[in-house]
Amino acid sequence: MSAPRVPRGRNRYRNLTSRGRWQARMKALILVGGYGTRLRPLTLSIPKPLVEFCNKPILLHQVEALVKAGVNHVILAVSYMSELLEKEMKEQEQRLPTDQEHISTVFADECWTWEEVGKWTVLREQLATGPLALARELLTDNSEPFFVLNSDVICDFPFTDMVRFHKHHGKEGTIVVTKVEEPSKYGVVVCEADTGRIHRFVEKPQVFVSNKINAGMYILNPAVLERIQLRPTSIEKEIFPVMAEQGQLYAMELQGFWMDIGQPKDFLTGMCMYLQSLRLKQPEWLHSGPGFVGNVLVDPTAKIGTNCSIGPNVTIGAGVVVEDGVRIKRCTVLKGSRIRSHSWLESCIVGWSSSVGQWVRMENVTVLGEDVIVNDELYLNGANVLPHKSIAESVPEPRIIM
């Protein structure tokens, strides 16, 4: 099968730098994915990469870290709500360092068309094959290795260390791995402790062979793309095992926290880890004062009433109003929401522009979608409430409110 047609304008990917010199571009492919079903009801309103994690879109955490590591060309492989992603990336480009004038982003979607969106170069294309195969032409116009990331991952992104490690061993691929306490729940990576050379992968081992799992971050040489055919391909299941057998794949162990935040309970766990990382590295970002306990991140536009107890492990978004006497711990409250007086929230995600009434109690990973109204004096236990609903009675047992 011949390679997919590259649309006119492809030479735009070889931009001049601001000094007028040609420069090989360091690249990254982010696997944004599909419908984000695990993070519903939040992803019924916006695509998962745009959900705010600690007051910043999930995707922007990754893009900012990539830019700091020298990446100036990001390809987003998407298949859901791409228009919203385009709009958001244009709005967020102002957050990127000003010297990254020529960073561009490619959106792989449904058809072959070019479009300029601010700094971002947008490409839509048919996803009849895997994104790596489709991105081959964009990733191979120089010999530099490139990053591949899953968009669900949050950690202290080690991109500079990945480049150093990858160039040191000199083989085709590097996988970042992280240790877990219960490896039998995962597919594990068996590798040499001193060099990181990967020998094999074992899916959900019943006896201990390793406690290291794939952390969803790779750096690959362009030669890896020659291994991928123009058909739907799982690089983890079909390509990496062959590379490991040939001695072409190495593992770099991640230092610090890591979490796949693709579902609500892990989203909240990842939030706790991220806030603790801020405490250690950038404590000035965290809010303190009377009524605040532990690690709390508050947008400057939020308003907090008197006699509240906020924290530990709470994120409060832009324009949120928390009235008097509210208790919140281990929660994310998203932009524009209101928590009315004397309510009690633990382990919850409150969706955008939602309203929680007075004397409400919510707990056990209750998730409110966008624009949900919870009436006064109700109890919600593990409720999963779809957008634009009004809740008039308690939910004593976990269930989906449609």
- Residues designated as active site: 204
Q: Is 83 exposed, middle or buried (0-12, 13-18, 19+ CB in 10 A)?
A: exposed
Query: What is the CA angle 270-188-131, rounded to 5?
Result: 75
CA 40 – CA 351 distance, rounded (Å)? 11
SS3 179: strand
Q: Which of 273, 271, 272, 299 has the alpha carbon at shortest distance from 285? A: 299
Amino acid at 241: P
Q: Which of 203, 2, 30 has the alpha carbon at shortest distance from 120? A: 30
- Region for residue 163 given its phi and psi (left: phi exceeds 0; alpha: psi -120 to 50; beta: otherwise): alpha
- Residue 160: which residues within 8 A CB-CB, separation 6 or more? 68, 69, 70
User: For the residues of 318-376, what is the DSSP string, one character each?
Assistant: TT-EE-TT-EEEEEEE-TT-EE-TT-EEEEEEEPTT-EE-TT-EEESSEEE-TT-EE-T
CA 14 – CA 23 distance, rounded (Å)? 7
CA 327 – CA 306 distance, rounded (Å)? 11
CB 282 within 8 A of CB 238: no
- Residue 55: which residues within 8 A CB-CB, separation 6 or more? 297, 299, 315, 317, 318
